[in-house]
Amino acid sequence: MKKKNILLSFALNFLLQAAAAQEILLIDPKLKEPMQLTYSISFGLLRSGGFPLHKEDLGKTIAGIENLLSELEQPATKPLISGPRTLGKSELILLASGKDATPLLKLYLTTHSGTNSASIELLTKEKSRRSVVKKLYKILDYLKNNAAIL
């Protein structure tokens, strides 16, 4: 999987506040290393490439990707609806174009904490539903495999 571009659009206190009271997962953007469970986040951890996700949102994120996959695996009779799909304190943001929503332009996973957020680009400018489905299954496998050991 391509190196994911992590967009950090928040002050350092974003997850320092959230982590004080909650469990935070750090997801490897390359989907190679296991998720890390932490209760405190440092700027160094974020700079090393880990993407933060509230642990309580992991199941909702898996379900959100499964729902998106079920939509994508149906015949393309109507376009996918662009926009956010709320998953607790996180959301999947789908940006689709074309009359049957192919190509799928982008898919982001965003985690919120107060007025701050962090986003990771899961898919970029995919040209077919088939390639989107393949990549989403890879992401889904990573999340499910890590959920089983947390």
Domain annotation covers residue 142: yes
Domain annotation covers residue 131: yes
Q: Write down the pTM of the prediction.
A: 0.80
What is the count of structural domains for the chain? 1
C-alpha span between 37 and 140 (Å, rounded): 18
Q: Check whether 4 has a pLDDT greater than 50.
A: no
List the single range of 78-82, 100-104, 134-138 with lowest mean pLDDT: 100-104
Domain annotation covers residue 25: yes
Q: Check whether 118 has a pLDDT greater than 50.
A: yes
* 3-state SS, residue 120: strand
Strand positions, DSSP E, 1-138: 6-9, 24-27, 36-38, 51-54, 83-87, 90-96, 104-113, 116-124
pLDDT in tens, 15-65: 445 445 578 899 999 999 999 898 876 667 667 778 899 999 999 999 999
Average confidence (pLDDT) over 113-126: 82
Domain hosting 124: range is 6-149
Average confidence (pLDDT) over 72-79: 75
Rama region for 31: left / alpha / beta (φ>0; ψ in -120 to 50; rest):
left
| DSSP letter, residue 92 | E
Considering the chain, what percentage of its residues have pLDDT values greater than 90? 37
77 contacts: CB under 8 Å, gap ≥ 6: 100
Q: Please say whether the beta carbons of 40 and 26 come within 8 A.
A: no
Q: Please say whether the beta carbons of 120 and 106 come within 8 A.
A: no
Domain annotation covers residue 1: no
